[in-house]
Amino acid sequence: MSANSGVDRYVAAARETMARRQADWKQMKRARFDTCAVHGLYTMGEALNSNQGSIIEPIYMSTSQAYRDSDEMEAALSYQIPTWCYSRIANPSMYYFENTLALLETYGAEIEASCVATSSGMSAILAATDSFLAVDPGDPAAPRNFVSTCQVYGGTFQQFSARRAQEQGIDCRWVIDSNNMDEWESKIDRNTRFVYGELPSNPGQAFFDLKKVIDIAHSHGVPVIIDNTVGTPALMRPLTLGADVVIQSVTKTLTSSGMGIAGAVIARKNLVSNFASDEMKADYAMYLKALPNRDFGQNLSPMNAILSLSEMRTLRSKVDLFSRNTQQVAEFLQGNAMVSEVGYLGLESHPLHELASRYLYLVDSEHDAQYGQKVNRYGHLLSFNVSGGVDNARRAFDALQRIWRATDLGRIKSVATIPAISTHSQQGEEGRQMAAIPGNMIRLCVGGEHVDDVIADLEQALDAVHGKVSVPVPSEFSYGGASGSTLAQPGE
C-alpha cells in the first residue's frame, strides 16, 4: 500500500465499487442462464450511475481514461483500483463482455472465475498456454512439455506443432486416442506444464471422458485447458467439471452473425499448477490481463466486444435450434447412399454417443416449459465422408447452392468446407491421418435456415455427384449486383 494518503483515499473508495460488483456477481449467480446472458453485470445501477441510463452496454471506443489528479493516476496504474487506464488492458465494453462470458462458463456451479477477452481464438490459446510454458528461472535448462489431444482445430495444431515444438523446442505430446486414459497418464510427467483438449473436436467430433482426464492431470498437479468453442457454455461448462481454463473462439457460435473475430480465456480462481506463481494461480485471467496480455497486446476491440455480447444474449435458444436442425441433417445424411460416414455425436450409431450424452445437455432445459427435463443437444458441427473418394466429395461440395462454401463455422447461415484443403491443410497428410481427417470429408455447420431447405440443398448436391441434376455453371450467378447473368452485366 502506498504511503501517499491521497492515493489511499482512492483505494478506499474503490473498495466500495469492488464490493458492489462482487454483490452484483453474487446476485447474478442466482439467476438463470438466459438472464445471465441477457444482463451480465450491466445492472441498472451501472447504467444510471455511469452510462446516462442507457439500457444497452456502452461501446467506449476511447483509447484511455482520464484521471482527476496524480493520486488517482498512481492508484490506477499500480492496479490498486479498478480502472480503464488504456484500452489495450481494460475498457468498459470489454468488461461487460468478459463478465457475461465468465457468468455463462461458470453457470450452475459455485465457482469463482474471471475472463480476459482477446483479439481472436488463436490469441486466446496463445495467452492461455504461454505463461504455463515459461522457462523455470530456478532451472532454465529443464525440459518442458505439454500434452494435447491431436484432434484439435487446424490452427491449434499448427500453433502447437510448428510454433511451440519446431520453433521453440517445447515438447508437444499428442494423445492419439483420447479415450485411452493410460495414454494420457503415460504422457504426463513432472515437466508437463498443462494438458489441453478440445471437445467435441473440430471437425472430427472426437470426444473424451473429461472428468477422468481432469482427475489424472490434477493428480500430477497439472492444469487442464479446454477449448469449448464447439460446445459453447449452452451445452457444456468444463470449468464446472473441474477444468482450470477454458478458451473460446468467440468468433464462432458465440457470435453467430459472423461480424468479427474475437476470443476469450476464462479461468477458475485458485487453479492447479506445479509451475505457476501464487499470483497466477489465484486469478489467472486477471493476471493475463494485467501483465502478459498488457505486454503482448492481443486485446479485443470494444466494438467487437459489444457485437459479441449482443449475440451471446440468445445463445441458449440459438444452440437449441441449431442442434435440432443438425440432428435432422445428420439423420438425413446417414440414410443417403452417397455418404459413407457421418460424424455427429447426436447419432445413436456414433461410437461416442453414449459418452457425449453424459456431458452435452441444453442448459436449463429442465427449467424450460417446452422440455421440463434435461435434454441432450449436440451442437451444430458435423462431418460426413462422400463415397467414392476425394473427387466425389469435391463434386458434391461444388454443387451446393444454399450452403456457403467457406472456412467458417458457428454461423447463423449454413457453411461447409473440405478440411483437408482448407482448415486442416497445413498440418499435412500425416497430421490429418493422425487426427482422422480424410480428403473426402466435408465439414458442415448447420445454421438457422429451415432445416428442410438445408436438406434439399444437400440432397441435390449429392445427386449431382452422378450427374442426376445439372450443376449450375458460374455464368448463372451474378458477381456484382442483383441476381441475373453476369453476361448481361458487362464490366461487373
Q: How far is the CB of 408 from ligand PLP (least distance, A)?
A: 8
The residues in 393-412 that bind ligand PLP, with binding defined as CB under 6 A, are 409
CB 247 within 8 A of CB 128: yes
Q: Does 447 bind ligand PLP (CB under 6 A)?
A: no
- Give me 403's grid cell: 450452403
Q: CA–CA distance from 305 to each of 224, 412, 418, 470 (Å)? A: 26, 19, 30, 44
Among 104, 113, 226, 261, contact with ligand PLP (rule: CB under 6 A): 261
Q: Does 301 bind ligand PLP (CB under 6 A)?
A: no
Tell me the per-residue interface mask from 5 to 44 with ligand PLP, x by CB under 6 A, - otherwise.
----------------------------------------
Q: Does 251 bind ligand PLP (CB under 6 A)?
A: yes
Q: How far is the CB of 124 from ligand PLP (least distance, A)?
A: 7
Q: Does 437 bind ligand PLP (CB under 6 A)?
A: no
Between 416 and 461, CB nearer to ligand PLP: 416
Tell me the per-residue interface mask from 121 to 160 with ligand PLP, x by CB under 6 A, - otherwise.
xx------------------------------x-xx----
CB 359 within 8 A of CB 234: no
Tell me the per-residue interface mask from 209 to 248 with ligand PLP, x by CB under 6 A, - otherwise.
------------------x-xx------------------
Sheet holding 404-405, edge to edge: 339-343, 381-386, 441-445, 415-417, 404-405
Between 126 and 338, CB nearer to ligand PLP: 126
Q: How far is the CB of 175 from ligand PLP (least distance, A)?
A: 17
Residues that bind ligand PLP (rule: CB under 6 A) add up to a total of: 17
Nearest residue to ligand PLP, using CB?
Answer: 121
CA 47 to chain centre: 29
Closest CA relative to residue 2, chosen from 86, 79, 65, 82: 79
Q: Does 343 bind ligand PLP (CB under 6 A)?
A: no
* Radius of gyration of the chain, Cα coordinates, nearest whole angstrom: 24
CA 485 to chain centre: 40
CB 377 within 8 A of CB 362: yes
| Residue numbers at the binding site for ligand PLP (CB under 6 A) | 120-122, 153, 155-156, 198, 202, 227, 229-230, 249, 251-252, 261, 263, 409
